[in-house]
Chains A and B, each alone.
Chain A
Amino acid sequence: CSSLLVATGTWVPNVVNFPGSEYVEGYETVSINPEDFAGQTVLILGRGNSAFETAENILGVTNFIHMVSRSRVRLSWATHYVGDLRAINNGLLDTYQLKSLDGLLEGDLEDLAIVKDKKGKLHITLRFYLENRNTSAGIDSITLPQDELDNFATRAPYDRVIRCLGWKFDFSIYNRSLGLMTGKGNKKKYPQIKPSYESKGTRGLFVIGTASHSVDFRKSAGGFIHGFRYTTRAVHRLLENRHHGVPWPSTVYPITQLTNSIIKRVNEASGLYQMFGILADIILLREFEYLEEYPVGVLAELEGQTGRKAPNGLFVVIMEYGRNFSGADKDVFYYNRAVGEAQHAWQSNFLHPVIYYYKRLPTEHEMRLRPPDWPLPRPDAVHHIVEDFLTDWTAPNAHILPLRRFLENCLSTDLRNFFAESCFLFAFTRQKLPPFCRQGYMRMQGLVGSERLRHHAVEAGLLEDYTLTDFLGDGPPDSHEGSQDHLLRDNAIPVHPLQHLVTAKDE
């Protein structure tokens, strides 16, 4: 077959081998009935959501629970990564830090050993002691840490030890010729794939679902249902193009709709929001073509992957957190963490839309050389829409106006809206019309506007009211000094705003 979609998840449990690991129960088989744990003392190996979820489930009935793991706990609200400990599971932190009932310990599981005594209680000791003991001797001859250090932390015996150490991808069924390699470093539990979710070794082999998380491990939500439903759709669209010649779905709009369509998407698009930093909307210019939720890691291959052409540059709309904001040890509640002014939007910390502008499609080389932590290489211009407490980016002055100025300057045009009356004036007095008049008024779809609105525009100095200056402009030239002053003043007011409206400064 020409394509293979691997959606086998990561089902192989991580197992650690140490002396006594045969006494350990696995997350995949352990009872979920809290009554089975009544009055017991439980040791949980691991510190992820599954470990805490297990603890949470039995917390009320146990004697106490201890948790051992190599790394420190990472809270997802600090890291902005849903794979870290979610607040809904972290009840044990309370009973540890406030009630001194349960506890967390750090240590390498490889160094542990578990010894079962005659009563069936499980004791923690160190592999080191086991290696030095006389093998022929019984259980009593095994040195326990508390024999030497009588306040050793886990000196109390446990009734049960549960392993919640996570999962990995099952590589076993793939022949080596497929070249389905494990990821590097902390991604080794996932197969290595390209940002297009295609295997690096085999063309046509796509990994989707949670197994595809190597693309955005510890960054975005691609390993979880709320994220991979969008990345899987992206794979579908890539395949549609590749095998059926169906280009990536797109909508073509007139340039006047550019600001609006970006605003609409950043407010409504769940794929951008969940798969921040990974999926991005692509806007291909000249009239513009809007492509939704493209995997931005393969931006350089856009034309081939989508069947759409980008001859005149493009915008990439993506959501980002502030750099240096998220992290396990970061204080995400520090004073002044939120930016309020549009002009400082680039310092926004919370998830906010960022728009990159490229005059031409970045090459693969540029993509590879992009700065670490950057989803994209250096753009020709970039715009941040300032973070918003309500994640509602529709404020006319703080959100839409700066975005419009950014787009105007990238495209070197004027994207303002005009009432029909202004378009009428421009039609008679200028050879070229602004896009809004061209697209609307000239096609007999002008915005007439109510009397009140036009009045407001006149008050704001953005529209000239010619009925007002009527009698003044008409009268014979007046030589009276007093009335001349009057005339001057009345003239001076409308002239300035008109200038404001008409002159197109390029600075």
Chain B
Amino acid sequence: MSAQKDRWVFSFFFLLFCASSIRMQGSARLLQELSPQEYFSSLQAGRASLAYFSHNVSPGAQPFLEQIENSAEALQDYGISVVKVNCPKEDVSRYCGEENALRKAYLFRGNMLIREFPTDALFDVDSIVANVLFALLFNEVKYVETLADLQNIENALKGRSNMVFAYVPATGTAEHRAVMEAAFVYGTVHQFVLTTEATLLKDTGNDESDVSSARLLFCHCQQATDLAQPCRRTAMGQTLTMLNIHRHLKLMGAPLVTEVAEDPEKVSTVHLQLGLPLVFILSQKETYEADRRTAEFVAWQLLGKAGVALLSRDLVDLNILLRSNVALKTPDEGEPVKYLVLEDTDEVITLVEDKNKVEQIQEDEEEIEEDEDEKENNNQDVQDDQVVEAVSRDKKRELPLEQILVLTEETFHSALLETARTVVLFYASWEAVSLAVLRSYTEVADHLKGTRGILLSRVNCWDWPGVCTKENVTQFPTMKIYEKGGRSVMYSGMWGTEELTSFIMLNRVSCPLRLATIDEAEGYLRGEFPPELSSYHHTSLLGVFSTATSEAREAFEEAGNLLSGHVMMGMYFEDDALALSRKYAVSPPALLLARSRGQSVEGIALSKESVQDMVQMIRYELLDVFPEITVQNLPRYLQLRKPFLIFFSDGDLGQMESKEMLKLAKERPQQAFVACWLNLKKTPVGRGVLKAYFATMPSLPVLIWVNLHAGGHVFKFPSELSITEMNILSWLEKLKAGLEIPSSTLSEEDWKPPLPAYDFLQMMEMAVPETPLRTSHRHRDVPQQYPPESSGGDTGVQEESPQDSKAEKVGSPGRDLRGTAPRLAAREKQGKRHSEL
């Protein structure tokens, strides 16, 4: 980057040098002191000079003279000499005689007076240079005060030349000088227009800029043909300095779209030289015209920010994907050209703009990292565990635990006998995860307030380790439901309020629930029976058995025991079971599966199955065909270990998409993939997923194919295609055939320790080099070498004699073993001791 900068700084000075090659050589002092005669006789035609006449130096003019002297060098670059004319006392000529004239400076070209300046207009070097050039470049820089003037000039220029329009809040400022200096170089190429009227700026459409800062606009009038329309403008984003203006004009002067016919790696344009990226629009013969238009459109959008080149693929043999349409080359040397498949021009623009953004963010981060480096790994003791940190930030808040009974070693067993079901949360008051769950548990208690037959309680295993060991609590937290009869179930689901509540509620009814009448069975399928569960609507499973088939029924009951709390299961084996099974067109033994309150009931035949198979089968059948993926249910679908075809939607599914996707999912029951969708409103973390897949947020909705289990390739369904079953299927075929390039690939990185640990082993060795540790024969990494004489068995630490400490003061740090005692002492001083409290 800086190399680039140097390059164009250099080129600018080279230019200046050319411009001022006519300057007079050989004058030792830049400010000449001449008599009037000498001065006027030395004036050459076409040479400009700034003269100041004085008798004796009057005290008031002194600061002014200094500034004049200082500006002499700057003006000399523009071929303007600065002269102090010493008037003889008796001289009463025009310049020396008048009292007033002595308060002024005069600008001559040849011997013609161009302008006289009051000394208070020449307060510093900037103002002197600005005003002098302003006067000299009268034709090149037009000063306007009204919009009409500006428009007149603009119209006159159309089709002929471009215009540089500058607004400065005041003349004589550094910005004014910069504009004038630019005009000196570019004045013959572009028409410069200057104003100090802020209203003119507003009328040019830059309403948001504040009038206190100078602005510069490049007006592309040369190509303008329509007299009625104002010329296209490109504002300069940077502050008005000589270099920035030069850079901007250089960029404006570069061709809008460069046509290239070589490998992008080898291409170099003015943009790259100036540290800006270059965007290639990849074109083909057939689409050349359209591509050219696209390139121009993009180029106008990116003018001043990036260059645009049109690359004919037919002319260059590129080893890239056929579908790639854009390439990005950054000015950083060594960084390869990136080939991309983009869909609209906006993406090209965000690509460039975001690139800048990303860099800026990275710079910020680097700064932060540097700060952190200075602190030398001190963030080792900063908590980076989100759960621990969240819990400790919440520890001052008192939890609403009044609904939850505290059990102790003594009260535990008696408490279990009091209520039909006692829910016990075993936790440890120091353990973050169990404290996090305790917070959800209080919410559960709030939901279940007043529910009869359920007692919520907790045991702090930190206080009562005995009871926890006896209840076989091996990790925290553990939740168990104890029935009065002595049976207990351990919870093994998500630690969320909703899941915990539903588990506790479902546990109130036996699983499977034996239904006595056909009405109950129907009510059960509709989710209305048993009434206490009607508000927790789940998919209901009903096993229908004729009495004869007891074997399948036993397996079903056994499966029910295992799934208790997670699945709602009922069974019906009354005499009229056949009537029920006929209604749903199954023959017992069979399963009826009622989704969404009985709106659809599926029948599944049961064959002779083991309990384990039955559990497996039930779990599988409970999965939705086209589920909405949430944080809570994702693991269930991940267990299928299939690729995901996932539709990210910002809000609910559209009718059409929903229909098409459902068709896709349904028609192949033995799918090789999981078709699902994600509601970004409900599961905002989905945005994080998309951000990880694509550098920028893609336009929504978006359909993604991701194989989480093999390879981790992510593919994006082309957004120009509509979401139809056919389109998706043919796209999937292409994926399978390897015709598509993944948008990204999931990182295969292992989870390494986030930060290093304290290396106590090394600290010990550093502090006590004669540490007994080293008598061990494994001298793997002895940190320091000591001279042999010190290894003669002296322990160094206590045996320090006065001479030794003197030697330390004289200073042979690190060489001598004896130095370790003060070092150890110093180390000890650093450590804060809590007994100092």
Interface residues of A (CB under 8 A from B): 251, 253, 257, 260, 263-264, 267-268, 335-347, 366, 369-374, 377-379, 381-384, 389, 394, 396-397, 400-402, 404-406, 408-409, 412-414, 416-422, 424-425, 427-435, 441-450, 452-454, 456-457, 459-460, 462-467, 469-470, 473-474, 476-477, 480-482, 487-488, 491-492, 495-496, 499-501, 503-507
CB of B350, distance to nearest CB on chain A (Å): 5
Ordered by A's residue number, 5 sampled pairs between the chains whose C-beta atoms are within 8 Å are A336-B828, A384-B760, A419-B387, A429-B692, A429-B693
- Would you call B752 an interface residue if the criterion is a C-beta within 8 Å of the partner chain's C-beta atoms? yes
Contact partner, B833, options A339, A342, A501, Cβ 8 Å: A339
Top 3 A-B residue pairs of the complex, sorted by shortest distance between their CB atoms = A371-B772, A448-B496, A340-B834
- B383 contacts A by Cβ under 8 Å: yes
Partner of A344, one of B476, B497, B752, B831: B831
Contact A378 B778, CB 8 Å, known A263-B430, A446-B635: yes
Collect the chain B residues with CB atoms within 8 Å of residue A434's CB.
751
A506 cross-chain contacts in B, Cβ below 8 A:
752-753
Q: Which residue of A401, A409, A476 contacts B756 across the interface (Cβ within 8 Å)?
A: A409
Cβ A420 vs Cβ B831 within 8 A: no
Q: Quick check: A343 and B758 within 8 Å, CB to CB? A: yes
- B window 424-462: CB within 8 A of A: 428, 430-433, 436-437, 439-440, 443, 462
Instruction: Name the distance in Å between B96's Cβ and chain A's nearest Cβ.
Output: 53
Pick the contact of B393 from A335, A460, A500 — CB < 8 Å?
Answer: A460
Please give me the residue from chain B that is nearest to A472 by CB atom.
B697
State whether the Cβ of B757 lies closer than 8 Å to any Cβ in chain A: yes
B564 to chain A minimum Cβ distance, whole angstroms, is 15
Q: Taking CB as reference atom, which chain A residue is nearest B831?
A: A344
User: Which residues of A lie under 8 Å from residue B431 when comparing CB positions?
Assistant: 260, 263
User: Smallest CB–CB gap between B159 and chain A, Å?
Assistant: 28
**B751 & A339 in contact (Cβ 8 Å cutoff):** no
Complex Cα distance, B750 from A506, in Å, reads: 11
Q: Which residues of A contact B439 (CB under 8 A)?
A: 449-450, 452-453
B813 at interface, CB cutoff 8 A: no
Contact (Cβ within 8 A) B684 A470 = yes
- Chain B contacts for A422, CB-based, 8 A: 386
Determine if B393 and A448 form an interchain contact, defined as CB atoms under 8 angstroms apart. Answer: no
Cα distance A381–B761 in the bound complex, in angstroms: 6
Measured in the bound complex, the distance between the Cα atoms of B777 and A377 in whole Å is 10
Task: State the Cβ distance, B503 to closest chain A Cβ, in Å.
Answer: 12
Among B357, B389, B393, point to the contact of A488 (Cβ < 8 A): B357
CB of B365 within 8 A of CB of A477, answer: no
Q: Identify which of B383, B386, B496, B689 contacts A463 (C-beta below 8 A).
A: B386
Closest to A335 in B: B835
- Are A383 and B777 in contact, with the CB atoms below 8 A? no
Residue B38 at the chain A interface, CB threshold 8 Å: no
B667 at the interface (CB under 8 A from A): no
Number of A-B contacts (CB under 8 A): 328
In the assembled complex, the Cα of A457 lies from the Cα of B386 at a distance in Å of 6
- In angstroms, how far is the closest chain A Cβ from the Cβ of B786? 18
Inter-subunit contact B758/A414 (CB<8 Å) = no
| Pairwise interchain contact A400-B388, C-beta atoms closer than 8 A | yes
| A345, A443, A450, A452 — most chain B CB neighbours (10 Å) | A450
**A491 — which chain B residues lie within 8 A by C-beta?**
357, 361
Given A335-B835, A418-B387, A432-B749; 14 other pairs, CB 8 A cutoff:
A267-B462, A344-B830, A402-B381, A412-B750, A413-B753, A414-B753, A420-B632, A427-B635, A431-B708, A445-B492, A447-B495, A460-B390, A464-B688, A477-B349
Which residues of chain A come closer than 8 Å to B635, judged between CB atoms?
A: 427, 441-444, 446
Known contacts A447-B436, A495-B361: A481-B208 contact under CB 8 Å: yes
CA of A264 to CA of B771, assembled, Å: 31
Q: B462: which A residues are within 8 A, CB to CB?
A: 267, 394
Is B687's CB under 8 angstroms from A428's CB?
no
Distance in angstroms between the alpha carbons of A256 and B237 in the assembled complex: 53
Smallest CB-CB separation from A420: which chain B residue?
Answer: B631
Assess whether B360 is interfacial by the CB under 8 Å rule.
yes
Q: Tell me which residues across on chain B come within 8 A of A496, comparing CB atoms.
A: 364-365, 368
Closest to A268 in B: B465
- Chain B nearest CB: distance from A419 CB in Å? 6
Do B684 and A413 touch across chains, with their CB atoms under 8 A apart? no
- Bound complex: CA of A337 vs CA of B495, how far in Å? 44
Contact A476 B747 (CB under 8 A): no
Q: Mark B264-306, 1 if CB is under 8 A from A, else 0.
A: 0000000000000000000000000000000000000000000
Q: Specify which chain B residues have a CB less than 8 angstroms from the CB of A400 in the assembled complex.
A: 388, 430
The number of chain B residues touching the other chain, given as a range, is 35 or more
Interface pair B760/A382, CB less than 8 Å apart = yes
A474 near B697 with CB under 8 A, answer yes
B-chain residues with CB within 8 Å of residue A339 when the two chains form the complex: 831, 833-834
Contact at B758–A406, with CB atoms within 8 Å?
yes
Whether B386 and A417, one on each chain, are in contact in the complex, defined by CB atoms closer than 8 angstroms, is yes
**Minimum C-beta distance from B691 to chain A (A):** 8
C-beta contact mask, B479-497 vs A, less than 8 Å → 1, else 0?
0000000000000111111
Contact indicator A369/B776 (Cβ below 8 Å): yes
Binary contact track B716-755/A, C-beta < 8 Å → 1, others 0: 0000000000000000000000000000001111111111
CB < 8 Å: which of B380, B697, B752, B761 contacts A414? Answer: B752
Q: In the complex the two chains form, what is the Cα distance from A211 to B431 in whole Å?
A: 41
Give CA–CA (A500, B383) in the complex, Å. Answer: 11
Most buried by A among B381, B689, B752: B752
Q: How far is the CA of A406 from the CA of B494 in the complex (A)?
A: 29
Chain B, range 365-409, C-beta contacts under 8 Å to A: 365, 368, 377, 380-381, 383-394, 397
Is B832 part of the contact surface with A, judged by Cβ < 8 Å?
yes
Q: How far is the CB of A257 from chain B (nearest CB, A)?
A: 5
B772 CB contact (under 8 Å) in A374, A427, A457:
A374
Q: How far is the CB of B751 from chain A (nearest CB, A)?
A: 4
- Interface residue B575 (Cβ < 8 Å from any Cβ of A): no
Complex Cα distance, B752 from A435, in Å, reads 11
- Contacts known (A338-B835, A347-B831, A473-B687); A488 close to B752, Cβ less than 8 A: no
Q: Is the CB of A377 within 8 A of B776?
A: yes
Contacts of A257 in B (CB 8 A): 474-475
Known: A253-B475, A347-B828, A417-B388. Contact between A402 and B708, CB under 8 A? no
User: In the bound complex, do residue A447 and residue B387 qualify as a contact, i.e. CB atoms below 8 Å apart?
Assistant: yes
How far is B391's CA from A457's CA once the two chains are assembled, in angstroms?
9
Which listed residue, A448, A456, A503, touches B497 by the CB 8 Å rule?
Answer: A448
Closest to B712 in A: A431
Report if B19 contacts A (CB, 8 A).
Answer: no
Q: How far is the CB of B759 from chain A (nearest CB, A)?
A: 8
- Complex Cα distance, B237 from A319, in Å, reads 66
Q: How many Å from the CB of B695 to the closest CB on chain A? A: 12
Question: Once bound together, how far apart are the Cα atoms of A467 and B684, in whole Å?
Answer: 6
A476 to B344 CA separation, bound complex (whole angstroms): 13
B773 proximal to A (CB < 8 A): yes
User: Shortest Cβ distance from B346 into chain A, in angstroms?
Assistant: 6
Q: How far is the CA of A253 from the CA of B476 in the complex (A)?
A: 12
* A260 adjacent to B494 (CB under 8 Å): no
The reply to whether B394 and A504 contact each other, CB–CB distance below 8 Å, is no
Q: How far is the CA of A441 from the CA of B496 in the complex (A)?
A: 11
Q: A369-B776, A369-B777 are in contact. Are A459 and B393 (CB under 8 A)?
A: yes
Given contacts A448-B495, A504-B753, A505-B755, contact A378 B833 (CB under 8 A): no
B638 located at the interface, meaning its Cβ lies under 8 Å from any Cβ of chain A in the complex: yes
**Are B387's CB and A476's CB within 8 A?**
no
Q: Give the chain B neighbours of A370 by CB distance below 8 A.
A: 776
Contacts A408-B757, A442-B635, A445-B495; is A429 near B387 (CB within 8 Å)? Answer: no
| Chain B min CB distance to A410 (Å) | 8
Q: Which of A371, A413, A457 contacts B775 (CB 8 A)?
A: A371
- Whether the pair A504, B440 counts as a contact (CB closer than 8 A) is no
Q: In the complex, which of the residues A394, A414, A433, A463 contacts B430, with contact meaning CB atoms closer than 8 Å?
A: A394
Partner of B364, one of A260, A342, A481, A492: A492
| Cα of A284 to Cα of B712 in the assembled complex, Å | 33
* Residues in B whose Cβ lies below 8 Å from that of A435: 751
B807 within 8 A of A: no
Q: Verify if B634 is at the interface (C-beta below 8 Å from A).
A: yes
